[in-house]
Amino acid sequence: MDGISETPRMKVLINLSSRILCEALQEFMEKDAGTYKTMVPHNLDKSTGFEPDKILVDAPALEESLPVSWSGAKVILIDTGLAEEEVVRLLFTHKLHGVISTDTGSELFHKALHAIRDGQVWVDNVKLKALLHNPPLSITLAGCERFSKKEQEIVLLIAEGCKNREIATQLNISERTVKTHLSRIFKKANITSRAQLAPLALKFRNHATSSA
């Protein structure tokens, strides 16, 4: 017990788009005041110098810019029922340290925050876990060479949320050509949906970084 009491409280900013949800979550977390010190955006002026080490956001709040002084905070997405592809897109386009769905039980919620504090990446969305454990994860960096440069570009654009028409415009090709490439990509990666391309996109991005 002594060791637990000496552990610094987590400083958590609850930055959801709904003020009511912010305050409800704050009230829930403050029941464990020995573990958390929470703040909601509209009360920040009451706590001079509050610098969170974790920020809870929903999709709308995630798109907003945060103060530079909070750049070291771990950002956790509160999934309010987003489609799988949208969660995948947000994971790919933002530096997220976790995804916690709104139907997560209190015990698992606390476990998730502790795991993230200890350096883990937490994803408790069952469907998303299934996506992230699909065959593309088994593709090594060397295996990325099986995909053409154009195919890799298309995968990266899909992971960013682009539709076929947008991809066609950006790559200066026809939508029909995009669909042809997608058919080949799905066959090579042994997948059946666009959402399953996220792990493959991460592989391609890592491959590009290591080759730079």
Query: Which pLDDT score is estimated for 199?
Result: 74
Structural domains in the chain plus CATH codes: 2-125 (3.40.50.2300), 134-211 (1.10.10.10)
C-alpha 152/C-alpha 205 separation (Å) is 9
C-alpha 66/C-alpha 76 separation (Å) is 14
Query: Which pLDDT score is estimated for 140?
Result: 55
Residue 7 backbone class (left: φ over 0; alpha: ψ -120 to 50; beta: rest): beta
Would you give per-residue pLDDT tens digits along the chain (212 residues)? 344 446 789 999 999 999 899 999 999 998 887 899 999 987 776 656 788 999 999 999 887 777 777 888 999 999 988 877 778 778 777 888 989 988 888 999 999 999 999 988 888 766 566 555 555 445 555 556 788 999 999 998 988 888 999 999 999 999 999 999 999 998 888 888 887 787 778 777 766 655 65
First to last CA, the chain: 49
**β-strand pairing of 98-101 with 74-79:** parallel
**CB-based contact 90:66 (threshold 8 Å):** no
Q: How far is CA 72 from CA 9, 134, 197, in A?
A: 16, 31, 29
